[in-house]
Amino acid sequence: MKNLLLVGLFLVAMSPGLAKAQIIQIDGSSTVFPVTEAVAEEFQKSKRGKVKVTVGIAGTGGGFKKFCRGETDVSNASRPILKLEMDYCKKSGVQFIELPVAYDALTVIVNPKNNWVNSLTVPDLKRMWEPAAQGKVTSWNQVRSEWPNNPLKLFGPGADSGTFDYFTEAIVGKAKSSRGDFTASEDDNVLVQGVANDRNALGYFGFAYYIENQAKLKAVPIDGGKGPISPSSKTVEDGTYQPLSRPIFIYVSKKSLDSKPAVKEFVEFYLKNAPQLVKQVKYVALPQNAYSIGADHLKKGKIGTVFAGTAEVGVKIEDLLKREASL
């Protein structure tokens, strides 16, 4: 009798979570996290607890690894899926639908006491940030001779981040091509502090961090060839703030879509409510038709990525969405 009890206990102990079927598992970038968190929160409220959503922050790379192993249903990504990851997914038989969900406008910031910079062109920025500048371009007047001979203090995200990749691609022309002698930090709040405390500082990070700290920072209008444009929800949404508007994505597993009806509902909810939720977490929403096209892709099950496994900069979102996708 005692043995039977023990066996019973053992069996109970060994039966892993039956609740798994009702959980939507999401992981990936910590940049996309605030948006997905907002959607997950509202979705769960609307479902009154019948569906559970979990979100992790293992990073875009870690997220894709889990996604391609079939462990997550949705992957948060601050950059498009790369060739290496696409191969991994193909090997495990995981097919995905790529959906841009918001813009993260990269904002170039200087200290409010910086009274000489009114706007910056892409060549200006390139002169500051390209690899050849390392150790050489150390004062402001080396970028533009009319600027003062003050030391140039640079702040930026760490070289492992999607923000870094996108900025270097957009400004220098090749991803990861940058000088190494700048103050790097994973935590954008630290960059905010750094620029806010130093008159001669310049940094770049996501729009949300600028908006939350407007009193301490000055955003620099960027001249992408059509005149200086200040970053704002309007200029990003209508595509005039270039080239530093980067789209952020979610990738949805086709298998999860087909086998877990809750996932389909969740993603549809995501696309429908993104415009206002994205604004609430201080990111910039895509133009409305981008979400409609996305929902259409979802319905039709359009699998694959339009980026062919490499990074790309400065493409309008509507053009992106109309492209042919490949796995």
CB 133 within 8 A of CB 179: yes
In the complex, least distance from residue 196 CB atom to other proteins, rounded to whole angstroms: 11
> Distance between CA 273 and CA 285 in Å, rounded?
10
Q: What is residue 130's DSSP assignment?
A: S
- Respond yes or no on whether the N-terminal peptide bond of residue 243 is cis (omega within 30° of 0): yes
Residue 2 amino acid letter: K
Q: Is 240 in the site for other proteins (CB under 8 A)?
A: no
Closest CA to 270 of 248, 295, 289: 295
The one among 73, 98, 124, 188 contacting other proteins by CB under 8 A = 188
Please list every residue from 5 through 44 that binds other proteins, using CB under 8 A.
5, 8-9, 12-19, 23, 25, 27, 29-30, 33-34, 36-38, 40-41, 44
The token pair that represents 219 in the structure block: 């955003």
Cα torsion at 279, 207, 309, 170 (round to 10°)?
140
In the complex, least distance from residue 145 CB atom to other proteins, rounded to whole angstroms: 28
Q: Is 182 in the site for other proteins (CB under 8 A)?
A: yes
Question: Any bridge partners for residue 76, and if so which?
Answer: 28, 250
Give the x/- contact pattern for other proteins in 204-223, rule: CB under 8 A: --x-xx-xxx----------
Q: Is 185 in the site for other proteins (CB under 8 A)?
A: yes
Q: Is 236 in the site for other proteins (CB under 8 A)?
A: no
Please list every residue from 86 through 145 that binds other proteins, using CB under 8 A.
88, 131
In the complex, least distance from residue 300 CB atom to other proteins, rounded to whole angstroms: 28
Please list every residue from 288 through 307 that binds other proteins, using CB under 8 A.
none
The token pair that represents 85 in the structure block: 């990851």
Residue 215 amino acid letter: A
DSSP letters, 43-70, are: HHHHTTTSSEEEE--SHHHHHHHHHHTT
In the complex, least distance from residue 113 CB atom to other proteins, rounded to whole angstroms: 18
The one among 141, 151, 181, 299 contacting other proteins by CB under 8 A = 181
The one among 184, 220, 244, 298 contacting other proteins by CB under 8 A = 184
Q: Is 280 in the site for other proteins (CB under 8 A)?
A: yes
In the complex, least distance from residue 84 CB atom to other proteins, rounded to whole angstroms: 5
Q: Is 57 in the site for other proteins (CB under 8 A)?
A: yes
Please list every residue from 141 through 170 that binds other proteins, using CB under 8 A.
158-162, 164-165, 168
Contacts of residue 6, defined as CB under 8 A and 6 or more positions apart, other chains included, come to none
